[in-house]
């Protein structure tokens, strides 16, 4: 079994989010995929096998299978491009069908995924109160222009927008209580955001359920944010997410939305081989 290690959403030769990538003739057993993911130790490892015109794809964190992972999809797209050439690849996930497009540029391989259909809803008051307590925040720290929501585009994320960049930089939480809360609420990440301008966000994503304190680049959360912004009235267009800066892994995610609620969201970025 060949395991490739690729950082997705990289900024040149820096940063990005590492993923393990395994491309084989058939998918290994669930137990074997879980074992490999635990051994690789990244937040996710993606497994792919060709099935006619589709690629069967599964994502595993060290602790458990996850339904969708953006950065691992970008890493997979670039790996497929390297092996089979630039183009669009249709992916059958455990719960949805998506696609990823691979392109070779002068700077190396880049990929763009199109997420599963997006939805969002206001965050329940009790969950908002508990999350603020876990992060040591109060309602005064929140950006009223983007109220707390749950958002989904293949996986469910809690989104909290802050009005101060320094507050975002100081993100902290106790791991075990946050892990228990995320498992109870079915959250893949908790996305803390600072809106730098209309088309630029700075993000930090707590990822206790993945076995790590923080994710340096989270494509699934980026897609969920795109869907939420459309639900809140944003029209068609693109925006950028800067992530990983406060943990020394600068990453860039480029998000494009159709402006139609419920559509999939396109999330793209560059990759570098580790």
- Exactly one of 4, 32, 39, 44 is catalytic; which is it? 44
**Closest by alpha carbon to 252, among 220, 213, 205, 218?**
218
183 DSSP 8-state letter? H
Q: Catalytic site residue 130?
A: no
Count CB neighbours of 63 within 10 A.
14
- Confirm if 256 and 238 have CB atoms less than 8 A apart: yes
Instruction: Please identify every residue annotated as catalytic.
Output: 44
């Amino acid at each position: 079994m060949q395991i490739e290690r690729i950082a997705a959403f990289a900024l040149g030769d820096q940063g990005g989010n590492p993923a393990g990538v395994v491309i084989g003739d058939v998918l290994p057993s669930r137990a074997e995929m879980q074992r490999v993911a635990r051994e690789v130790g990244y937040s996710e490892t993606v497994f792919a096998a060709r099935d006619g015109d589709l690629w069967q794809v599964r994502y595993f964190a060290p602790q458990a299978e996850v339904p969708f992972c953006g950065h691992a999809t970008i890493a997979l797209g670039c790996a497929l491009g390297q092996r089979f050439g630039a183009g669009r690849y249709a992916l059958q996930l455990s719960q949805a069908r998506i696609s990823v497009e691979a392109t070779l540029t002068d700077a190396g391989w880049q990929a763009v995924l199109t997420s599963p259909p997006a939805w969002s809803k206001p965050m329940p008051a009790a969950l908002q109160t508990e999350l603020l307590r876990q992060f040591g925040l109060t309602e005064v720290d929140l950006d009223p222009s983007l109220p707390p929501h749950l958002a989904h585009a293949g996986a469910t994320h809690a989104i909290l927008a802050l009005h101060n960049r320094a507050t975002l930089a100081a993100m902290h939480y106790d791991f075990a209580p946050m892990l228990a809360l995320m498992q109870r609420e079915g959250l893949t990440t908790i996305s803390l955001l600072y809106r730098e301008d209309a088309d630029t966000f700075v993000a930090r994503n707590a990822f206790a359920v993945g076995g790590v304190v923080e994710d340096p680049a989270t494509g699934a959360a980026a897609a969920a944010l795109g869907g939420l912004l459309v639900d809140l009235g944003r029209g068609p267009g693109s925006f950028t997410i800067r992530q990983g800066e406060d943990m020394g892994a600068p990453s860039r995610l480029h998000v494009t939305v159709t402006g139609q609620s419920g559509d999939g969201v396109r999330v793209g970025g560059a990759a570098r081989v580790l």
